[in-house]
């Protein structure tokens, strides 16, 4: 078999394996309809799309002027755009842990990018929806447990999976293999891609993820007998994360097959590539929207789009070139707003208000209880998250967080708290809290801790109980660091 035909065979096999999932899949009786009775109420399909290192300011609907994102802008125009939504952390693994477990980084098992796996029996969003009757699929980046651990997706509530297990493996957009789990065929292991083709940059992983996502939607639509089972698709793209290793080797770690439509721009090549990556993802989200319409399931499908943390300075890309942090101070690995405040777009025709902009404050750990309530799934006790379903649907949100909390452990232990309009940051164990008023100083330019000692005392009191001790993630003193600049006026 030739190398090209081998690649084509794997594309065909991936589609066929996913298509097999439509066979012999009975629909729950409560959601099975026939011609003799009116349709039963249907819980929505849920598509959770998470970009990787996409900054708050990287989308047109959040103020971006140069990078074209027409499909995400349309999603926001036809849905609700949240302006005070926060990632679970300022780097990948702990942020995704918060998303899946409903626990913030002071309580989660994974609080940094290290080889730590979710525990067996860990309550997860995927498991809750799976147990409630959803067909659950993960396409893309996982980062919460490598092979032969308790943290692999199939042990954490996913019926099927194709993508990366390890976040370092996910740096490579032209991998020689991806991981695949499919109980219907018995396949569980490495899905090989031809090594020589990968080296020649022929098989772009993002394109495989889009193909898999389109197939997942197609095979989970109601069948010819109108039998229906809702699905949950976690589509975890790796765009626009840098290939750090390629960046160190060549100076350009922003990998993409083509820099179109920015080829003629007088920009550095890394910035052309970054913009092309984001526009490519936007176009594929447009394809997914078209597929939902073609399948006639768009009116019963909720889409949430967000990013796992703020923009990066990696692979040769410079966040200031596109003003990727928007109005916020900081980037990835900072607990200033630019490192953790991220886009959140919610779309569900006829259910979520169109053209709405909401300043509701919520975070990754709220997604679990919100979607569990929506999917009529059991919500575990003792989550840090609250259901934000009223806010999602444009109604009055009566329960609110008194505090939001983050911790991060690279270069010492950083902590951050949001309490109303107040934002406090500690850059290392034993250091004084910095305090900012996000209402009057959204760019966190002026530390007003000395003028508001009562607020500082209240936050210090909260910090005494904000976290549980962890042998993996003890609080430790910070190193001497370069101050993070505030946004220019």
Number of domains in the chain: 2
Q: What is the pLDDT of residue 202?
A: 78
Structural domain ending residue among the three candidates 401, 436, 468: 401
* Tokens matching residue 210: 């889009």
Is there a single domain that holds both residue 407 and residue 425? yes
Cβ distance 105 to 94 under 8 Å? yes
Is there a single domain that holds both residue 389 and residue 464? no
Q: How confident is the model at residue 221 (pLDDT cuts 50, 70, 90)?
A: confident
pTM for this prediction? 0.91
Within a domain: 328: yes
Is there a single domain that holds both residue 380 and residue 356? yes
Looking at residue 170, the DSSP 8-state letter turns out to be: G
Within a domain: 9: no
Read off the pLDDT of residues 271-323 as tens digits, 9 standing for 90 and up.
999 999 999 999 999 999 999 999 999 999 999 999 999 999 999 999 999 99
Top-confidence residue, 50 or 194: 50
**What mean pLDDT comes out for the span 390-416?**
96
Read off the pLDDT of residues 453-484 as tens digits, 9 standing for 90 and up.
999 999 999 999 999 999 999 998 876 555 66
Q: What is the pLDDT of residue 1?
A: 40
Residue matched to tokens 């929207």: 289
Is there a single domain that holds both residue 302 and residue 394? yes
Q: What is the pLDDT of residue 5?
A: 39
Is there a single domain that holds both residue 374 and residue 477? no
d(C-alpha 65, C-alpha 323), whole Å: 9
What is the three-class DSSP state of 128? helix
Cβ distance 162 to 191 under 8 Å? yes
d(C-alpha 228, C-alpha 43), whole Å: 10
pLDDT for residue 93 is more than 60: yes
Q: How many CB atoms lie within 10 A of CB 90?
A: 27
What is the three-class DSSP state of 269? helix
Task: Classify each residue of 29-52 as buried b or exposed e, where b means 16 or more C-beta atoms within 10 Å of its C-beta.
Answer: eebbbeeeeeeeebbbbbbbbbbb
Cβ distance 99 to 52 under 8 Å? no
Read off the pLDDT of residues 226-253 as tens digits, 9 standing for 90 and up.
667 899 999 999 999 999 999 999 999 9
Read off the pLDDT of residues 19-38 as tens digits, 9 standing for 90 and up.
333 333 433 334 544 333 33
Q: Which domain holds residue 428?
A: 403-489
Q: How far is CA 294 from the centre of its chain?
A: 26
Looking at residue 32, the DSSP 8-state letter turns out to be: B
d(C-alpha 40, C-alpha 53), whole Å: 40
Residue matched to tokens 């020649």: 200
pLDDT for residue 8 is more than 50: no
What is the three-class DSSP state of 135? strand
DSSP 180-198: EEETTTTEEEEEE--HHHH
* Tokens matching residue 162: 């194709």
pLDDT for residue 7 is more than 70: no
Within a domain: 129: yes
Q: What is the pLDDT of residue 94?
A: 98
pLDDT for residue 373 is more than 50: yes
Read off the pLDDT of residues 61-75 as tens digits, 9 standing for 90 and up.
999 999 999 999 999
Within a domain: 6: no
d(C-alpha 157, C-alpha 160), whole Å: 9
Antiparallel, parallel or unpaired: β 301-307 and 80-82: unpaired
* Tokens matching residue 363: 């975070």
H-type helices in 261-386, by residue range?
Answer: 269-294, 337-340, 367-374
Q: What CATH number is associated with residue 410?
A: 3.30.1120.10
State the virtual CA torsion across 371, 389, 327, 307 in degrees, nearest 10.
10
């Amino acid at each position: 078999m030739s190398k090209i035909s081998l690649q084509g065979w794997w594309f065909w096999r991936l589609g066929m394996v996913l298509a097999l999932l439509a066979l012999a899949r009975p629909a729950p009786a409560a959601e099975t309809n026939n011609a003799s009775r009116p349709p039963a109420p249907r819980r929505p399909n849920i598509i959770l799309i998470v970009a990787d290192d996409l900054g708050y300011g990287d989308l047109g609907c959040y103020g971006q002027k140069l990078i074209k994102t027409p499909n995400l802008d349309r999603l926001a125009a036809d849905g609700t755009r949240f302006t005070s939504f926060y990632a679970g952390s300022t780097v990948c693994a702990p942020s995704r842990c918060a998303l899946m477990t409903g626990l913030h980084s002071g309580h989660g098992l994974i609080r940094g990018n290290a080889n730590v796996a979710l525990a067996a029996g860990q309550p997860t969003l995927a498991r809750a929806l799976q147990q409630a009757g959803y067909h659950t699929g993960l396409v893309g980046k996982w980062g919460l447990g490598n092979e032969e651990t308790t943290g692999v997706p199939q042990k954490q509530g996913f019926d099927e999976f194709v993508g990366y297990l390890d976040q370092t493996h996910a740096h490579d957009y032209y991998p020689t293999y991806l991981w695949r789990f499919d109980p219907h065929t018995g396949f569980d292991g490495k899905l090989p891609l031809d090594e020589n083709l990968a080296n020649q940059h022929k098989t772009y992983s993002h394109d495989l993820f889009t193909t898999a996502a389109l197939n997942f939607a197609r095979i989970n639509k109601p069948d010819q007998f109108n039998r229906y089972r809702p699905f949950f698709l976690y589509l975890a793209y790796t765009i626009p994360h840098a290939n750090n290793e390629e960046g160190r080797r060549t100076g350009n770690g922003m990998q993409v097959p083509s820099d179109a439509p920015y080829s003629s721009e007088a920009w550095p090549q890394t910035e052309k590539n970054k913009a092309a990556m984001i526009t490519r993802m936007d176009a594929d989200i447009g394809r997914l929207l078209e597929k939902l319409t073609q399948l006639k399931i768009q009116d019963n499908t909720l889409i949430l789009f967000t990013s796992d943390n703020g923009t990066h300075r990696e692979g040769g890309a410079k966040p200031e070139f596109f003003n990727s942090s928007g109005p916020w101070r900081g980037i990835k690995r900072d607990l200033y707003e630019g490192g953790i405040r991220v886009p959140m777009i919610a779309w569900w025709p006829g259910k979520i208000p169109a053209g709405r902009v909401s300043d509701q404050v919520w975070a990754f750990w709220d997604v679990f209880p919100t979607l569990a309530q929506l999917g009529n799934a059991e919500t575990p006790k003792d989550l840090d998250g609250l259901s934000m379903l009223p806010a999602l649907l444009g109604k009055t949100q009566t329960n609110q967080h008194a505090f939001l909390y983050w911790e991060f452990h690279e270069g010492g232990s950083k902590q951050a708290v949001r309490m109303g309009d107040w934002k406090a940051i500690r850059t290392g164990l034993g250091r004084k809290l910095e305090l900012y008023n996000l209402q009057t100083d959204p760019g966190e330019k002026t530390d007003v801790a000395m003028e508001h000692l009562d607020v500082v005392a209240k936050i210090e009191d909260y910090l005494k109980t904000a976290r549980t001790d962890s042998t993996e993630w003890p609080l430790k003193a910070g190193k001497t660091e370069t101050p993070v600049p505030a946004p220019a006026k």
